[in-house]
Amino acid sequence: MGRLKNKVAIVTGGGRGLGKTYCLRMAEEEAKIVVADILDREAEETVSEIKAKGGNAIAIKADVTSEADTQRMAEETVKKFGRIDILVNSAGYYYGMVRKPFNEVSSEEWDKAMLVNAKGTWLCCKAVFPQMKKQGKGKIINVSSEAVFAPTKGFIHYTASKAAVIGITRVLAGELGQYGICVNVIVPGVVDTAATRTYINIEKFDIGSVPLGRVELPEDVVGSVVFFASDDSDFVSGQSLLIDGARRVH
Partner 1 sequence: MGRLDGKVAIVTGGGKGLGRAFCFGLAKEGAKVVMAVHRLDEEATKAAKEIETKGGYALEVDVTKEEDTQRMAEETVKKFGRIDILVNNAAYYYGVGRKLFYEVSSEEWDRALAVGAKGAWLCAKAVFPQMKKQGKGKIINLSSETVFSPTKGMIHYVTSKAAVIGITRVLAGELGQYGICVNAVAPGFTDTAASRTIGSIEKFDVSSIPLGRVGVPEDVIGSVIFFASDDSDFVSGQTLLVDGARRVH
Which one of the spans 5-13, 14-22, 106-114, 225-233 is the region binding partner 1 (CB under 8 A)?
A: 225-233
Q: Which of 79, 65, 62 is nearest to 122 (CA)?
A: 65
Q: What is the DSSP letter of 118?
A: I
CA 87 to chain centre: 8
Q: Give the residue with the Cβ less far from partner 1, 113 or 172.
A: 172
Contacts of partner 1 in 76-115 (CB under 8 A): none
Using rule CB under 8 A, residue 226 touches partner 1:
yes
Using rule CB under 8 A, residue 163 touches partner 1:
no
Contact with partner 1 (CB under 8 A) among 152, 180, 195, 199: 180
Using rule CB under 8 A, residue 232 touches partner 1:
yes
State the Cα angle at 49 between 44 and 53, rounded to 5°.
Answer: 140
Using rule CB under 8 A, residue 230 touches partner 1:
yes
Q: In what order do the strands lie in the sheet with 240-243?
A: 57-61, 32-37, 8-12, 86-89, 138-143, 181-188, 240-243
Q: Is 95 a catalytic residue?
A: no
Q: Which amino acid is at 207?
A: I
Binding-residue pattern over the window 118 to 157 for partner 1, x denoting contact by CB under 8 A? ----------------------------------------
Q: How far is CA 32 from CA 25, 58, 77, 91, 214, in A?
A: 11, 8, 10, 19, 32
Q: How many CB atoms lie within 10 A of CB 120?
A: 27
Which one of the spans 66-74, 91-99, 157-165, 235-243 is the region binding partner 1 (CB under 8 A)?
A: 235-243
# chain residues binding partner 1, by CB under 8 A = 43
Who contacts 155 (Cβ-Cβ below 8 Å, separation ≥6)?
Answer: 97, 99, 100, 147
Using rule CB under 8 A, residue 210 touches partner 1:
yes
State the pairing for strand pair 181-188/240-243: parallel
Q: Give the residue with the Cβ less far from partner 1, 82 or 211.
A: 211
Q: In whole angstroms, give the CA distance from residue 246 to residue 250.
A: 9
CB of 188 to partner 1, least distance (A): 9
Using rule CB under 8 A, residue 242 touches partner 1:
yes
Using rule CB under 8 A, residue 249 touches partner 1:
yes
**Do you know the residue count of the chain?**
250
* Site residues (vs partner 1, CB under 8 A): 169-170, 173-178, 180, 182-183, 210-213, 216, 220-224, 226-227, 230-246, 248-250
Return the active site residues. 158
